[in-house]
Amino acid sequence: MRKLLTISAILSIVFFAGCKKDTYVPVVTKCPVVISTTPQNGAFSVPLNQVITATFNEKMNASSIIDPAFTLTNGQTTVAGIVSYTDSTASFTPTGGFLPNTTYIARITTAAKDLYGNHVQTDYVWTFSTGATVVPTVISTNPVNNAINVPLTQKVNATFSLPMDPTTISSASFILKQGLTPVTGTVSYTGTTATFTPTANLITGAIYTATITTGAKDIAGASIPANYVWTFSTGASIIPTVVSTDPANNATGIPLNKIVSATFSIPMASSTITAATYTLKQGVTMVLGTVSYAGSTASFSPSANLLPGLVYTATITTGAQDPAGAALANNYVWTFTTGTSIAPTVISTDPANNASGVALNKIIGATFSTAMSPASISTSTFTLKQGSTPVSGAVTYAGTTASFTPATNLISGTTYTATITTGARDIAGDSLSNNYVWTFTTTGALGPLPIDLRSVASFGIMAGVGVSNNAGPSKVINLNVGISPGVRSSITGFPPATIVNGTMYASDDISPPGVAAMLTQAKLDLTNAYLAAESASNPAPVTVSGDQGGLTLTPGIYKSTSTLMIQSGNLTLDARGDVNAVWIFQIASGFTTIGGAGGSVILIGGAQAGNVFWQTGTSATIGNNTAFQGNILALTSITMDPFSTAVGRMLAINASVVMTSTNTITKP
């Protein structure tokens, strides 16, 4: 009986729909079939950058999938793309993306076969329609997926294909887990990159899973198409080491006023770098001094000059630990011998170390203890940096003072680091014993704080009920155009007007999903920005009225209790060298520029159009041929007369934005 069953089973395999796996295994098997697709059959509003996939009920012969079993057509037109296969899923990636609002037909043909040579019995066909936009995707991560030996101090990053709405990048949409346990940390977003910074170091030898959820949205309100998940594992705890010392081991002729330093392989816990773990001795006699730590370098500063011609021994003990608690494997010991000279030193700087409120046109100075060789004082030995970015400038030397003159004004509210290197020598040829480093912070920006436009900052035009271009090839460049609660039929004159590197949005758009909510948020952000500009009071507003043509105004708040105009000449805004300087104009009623003999806004002294805000209580009109600068936040409407241009934004809360003829709006 057992033998008959076996034969029966074998026959059922051989004759079942012409498909078989292994004729020696008595189980009934099925032909390969497609069990799911992305997008699904009949899907609509599919992103223009969607990768098309088909998943089978079993593993397939990859070569049969890649050519020629997976095809995509638009009508009778074959879509070019790249086919790949992983595990049980075939993927089709269009070479140039999809066309908007177009129906496509995807097909898995009978050429597809499984590992046993069984073909798909009939072509599998499904259709879908694209939407109007590209959705954001995660294009890279750090660590990469499946990375190993990740440092315990690693910050986890994800970079997107499009700028995202920062309010959607949070601990709710960026999650890190070790197994099933959530990792606590903070989430930040800059540029196109989200960063998860764990509160504490990661665990040694553990697997972590990071997830970006569909709660992450771009500035248009489009979500990533699916949760993005990747994993990585940490390595063993790395034992810190001392990688270099100054002086080097066995060095001779060391200046008597030398500061002794040691640099570690990784950053250390500063609380463990103390006089107890870092010592200096001459023979068995302890040298008195102070210990400091910065970056990855510990420094021992003797309280008095060292003695000439003697051997000194420095020691870093195993009490020195990294932030994860890993200590040096052994005490690190090195020796050096002093000479007879005293090295030149920097005895004062201007600005002083840690100074704040430093002027933007400051010339940076350092005074030495003795006369220096002028040839050794140069841009190679006297540097200034903002973060890791070198500041260009000229270096001069007179008396005992070296001066660094920046090529342009410094940036407000910014910390700078100045350095005199050991390449600086006195006239006897003796170098500084150590690099001399100090920092300072520049004064805050001139004028008030800037108005935060939040999501409406992506729009060159935002209107309540209408957007029109009456004539001519007007342009909106590198910004979007939006209307809410007005609808798309209330946008006219596009073309001949065009949007360059931007998108048009209306409150009744159904694709992509979420446009209405995105516009509602943008209008709310515009209203809040308007109210913030209207109520700004620090520094105290300066009262202005009438025609501002021909005037030059420094950063600040300027308040008009009625209308305001620019007519009898150009209005000049002078930032006095501060690129972060801000102007807020509070205009109770209408605002008008009159083209012809002036009427333009001129920026000098580093002024930036993005930092100029015109809060207008009713409506604004930009006159013929006016060259305008700044962001208009109007309660009612905005009109741009023929051939006027703006570097800024035209943002109207309640009514329309009208481009009369051949106007240009450019992102500031």
Mean pLDDT of the chain: 90
Check residue 20 and give its pLDDT: 54
Q: Please give the share of the chain, as a percent, with pLDDT higher than 90.
A: 71
| Mean pLDDT on 391-401 | 96
Residue 51's φ and ψ, nearest 5 degrees, are -90, 130
Q: How far apart are CA 351 and CA 416, in angstroms?
A: 11
Helix (H, G, I), strand (E, B) or coil at 518: helix
Burial grade of 109 (CB within 10 A; 0-12, 13-18, 19 or more): middle
Tell me: the pLDDT tens digits for 202-229? Answer: 888 889 999 999 999 988 788 888 899 9
- Would you say how long the chain is, in residues? 668
Q: Please give the share of the chain, as a percent, with pLDDT higher than 70.
A: 95
The pLDDT of residue 2 is above 50 = no
Helix (H, G, I), strand (E, B) or coil at 489: helix
Is the Cβ–Cβ distance between 619 and 609 less than 8 Å?
Answer: no
* Closest-CA residue to 351 (of 292, 294, 290, 406): 406
Tell me: the pLDDT tens digits for 143-170? Answer: 999 888 888 888 999 998 888 899 999 9
**pTM (2 d.p.):** 0.57
Concatenated DSSP letters of 107-127: EE-TT-BBTTSPBPSS-EEEE
Q: How far apart are CA 141 and CA 366, in angstroms?
A: 44
The pLDDT of residue 298 is above 60 = yes
Among the ranges given (71-80, 218-227, 431-440, 566-575), the one the predictor scored with the smallest mean pLDDT: 218-227
The DSSP H or E segment spanning 524 is helix 515-535
Tell me: the pLDDT tens digits for 457-507? Answer: 999 999 999 999 999 999 999 999 999 999 999 999 999 999 999 999 999
Residue partners of 527: CB distance under 8 A and separation at least 6: 653
Helix (H, G, I), strand (E, B) or coil at 541: coil
Strands 81-86 and 89-94: antiparallel
Q: How far apart are CA 91 and CA 638, in angstroms?
A: 49
